[in-house]
Every structure is written in structure tokens, then in C-alpha cells.
Amino acid sequence: MLELKNISYVVDDNGTQKVILDDVSFVAQDNELVVITGQNGSGKSTLAKIVMGIIKPTSGKVIYNGKDITNYSIDKRAKLGIAYAFQSPVIFKGITVKKMLEIASGGKLNINDACTALSQVGLCARDYIDRELNSKLSGGELKRIELAMIVARNAKLNICDEPEAGIDLWSFDALVNLFKARKSSYVIISHQSKIIEIADKMVLLKAGKLEKVGTKEEVMPLIAEEKCARLKV
């Protein structure tokens, strides 16, 4: 179980204190799919990076399975079973897709398991297993390979920052099915209606503050109201 307690994050902006997150709290239960949504600049990616330990909150606590991991390094969190998929995947030049999947899994990965991981994100293993991770791959391909690494890793808690970014419509259903068939917890930053539709819980952020935590039936009307208000301006 992941619990965020009163998370705030403040940065210095040319001598002025800029609040990115302000007292955000919510819980992600085991095997739960939580979608974090909100307008651009609302603090979604910052919150995800705080969970993974990429940045440290100014105040508040990150609790995982009852343990305070606020000061844990990225490596230490990874050893606890937390995985992270970036909005823009990192490229590891010269390494094959199969090798990256092996690294993600923590050891040797047989060809069948590698193929299964790739197929779950809409990639044909025959076409990708021996390819190198380089600029010849599109952004969407790199994104799906990164998600395949999460599948191979079999982490207990997966943090995904806009996993739909750059993925074509033909592959999107495979992505949604991957989340539906989950055997672990997911915290996903997304605006996509198909991903929101399968969410167990939604977290709505607005200008760094927690607007609402609840089911999609409870949160979506607030998003609709906000859109209408903007249109009237």
C-alpha cells in the first residue's frame, strides 16, 4: 500500500518561493489502479517523481507498506518493488531490447517471457527482440518497450507518467488490456478516457492542490464543470 501524507514541494524561482504541490494526501491500495489527472502544470509529474524518489518533497511523507520511505534513494525504492515509466523514455544506446528486458527482470529472461512482455504492450517480439535502443525507434516504440520492461520486472507498484503518449490507436487497446489484467498496483498520470474508465480511484489536482479523491463517478463531474467554466471565459 502506498500512502502520501501532506506532500508539499516548493522551489526557488528567482528569489520567489513557487509552490508546485501543496499538502497532497491520498492512498493507493494493493492491486489498485489510481489515475492522477488535472490540467498541465497542476503538479502531476512532480508527484510521481516524489513517489519514485527522483525528487524529495519539501514536506510530508511517502509511506510504502507501512514504512516511511521519504528519504530512500531511487535504488532502495526499486528494491522494494517500485517501478517508474517516464513520460519521455530514456534511450540506452547500443543495448538490445532483449538485454533491457533482462536487466529489468533482474536476471536472465528466456525468449518466451521476453516475447510475452512485448506482446502485452502491442509489439511483435520477432521484430523487436534483437533491435538496439536508439534514435531509429519512434517515441511510441520506446514508450512501449519501457512499459514492457515494467511487465518483465513484475514490480509491486508501478508509476506511469502518461503511458499513452506517442502510442498509436492500434496499440492503445493492448495498453488498456495490460492495465486491466494487472496483478500489482498502478499509479498512472493520464487524461485518456479509456484509462480513466478502468480506474479504481481518481486523484484530481488543481494548481498543485488536491481538488478531489474518489471514484471516476465522483471526480469526472468536477472535470466537466471546470471545462465548461473555461469555455465561458
Tens digits of per-residue pLDDT, 140-170? 788 888 888 888 888 899 999 988 877 776 6
Q: Supply the range of the domain harboring residue 95.
A: 87-154
At 129, the pLDDT band (50, 70, 90 cuts) reads confident
What's the CA gap between 82 and 52, in Å, rounded? 7
**100 within some domain:** yes
Q: What is the pLDDT of residue 141?
A: 83
What's the CA gap between 182 and 164, in Å, rounded? 16
Contact present, 104 and 150 (Cβ < 8 Å): yes
Q: What is the pLDDT of residue 144?
A: 83
Q: What is the pLDDT of residue 203?
A: 96
DSSP 71: T
Q: What is the pLDDT of residue 145?
A: 85
**148 within some domain:** yes
What's the CA gap between 117 and 147, in Å, rounded? 9
Exposure of 121 by Cβ count < 10 A (0-12 exposed, 13-18 middle, 19+ buried)?
Answer: buried
Q: What is the pLDDT of residue 95?
A: 85
Compute how many other C-beta atoms are within 10 angstroms of the C-beta atom of residue 148: 27
**130 within some domain:** yes
What's the CA gap between 6 and 29, in Å, rounded? 17
At 233, the pLDDT band (50, 70, 90 cuts) reads very low
Secondary structure (3-state) at 81: coil
Q: What is the pLDDT of residue 117?
A: 86
User: Of 208, 204, 210, whose CA–CA distance to 225 is shortest?
Assistant: 204
Q: What is the pLDDT of residue 231?
A: 44
Beta bridge partners of 21: 9
- Total domains in the fold of the chain: 1
Contact present, 151 and 114 (Cβ < 8 Å): no
Q: What is the pLDDT of residue 66?
A: 95
pLDDT at 55 > cutoff 60: yes
Q: Supply φ then ψ for residue 179, to 5 degrees.
A: -70, -35
**189 within some domain:** no
**93 within some domain:** yes
User: Of 186, 180, 200, 198, whose CA–CA distance to 153 is shortest?
Assistant: 186
pLDDT at 11 > cutoff 60: yes
Q: In this prediction, what percent of the chain has a pLDDT beyond 90?
A: 48
Q: What is the pLDDT of residue 114?
A: 85
What's the CA gap between 164 and 62, in Å, rounded? 26
At 232, the pLDDT band (50, 70, 90 cuts) reads low
Contact present, 133 and 91 (Cβ < 8 Å): yes
Q: Quick check: pTM over 0.95? A: no
What's the CA gap between 215 and 99, in Å, rounded? 39
Q: Which among 63-77, 92-106, 127-141 has the top mean pLDDT?
A: 63-77
**116 within some domain:** yes
**228 within some domain:** no
**200 within some domain:** no
Cα distances from 95 to residues 151, 163, 220, 223, in angstroms, run: 18, 22, 42, 42
User: Of 102, 59, 100, 104, whose CA–CA distance to 81 is shortest?
Assistant: 104
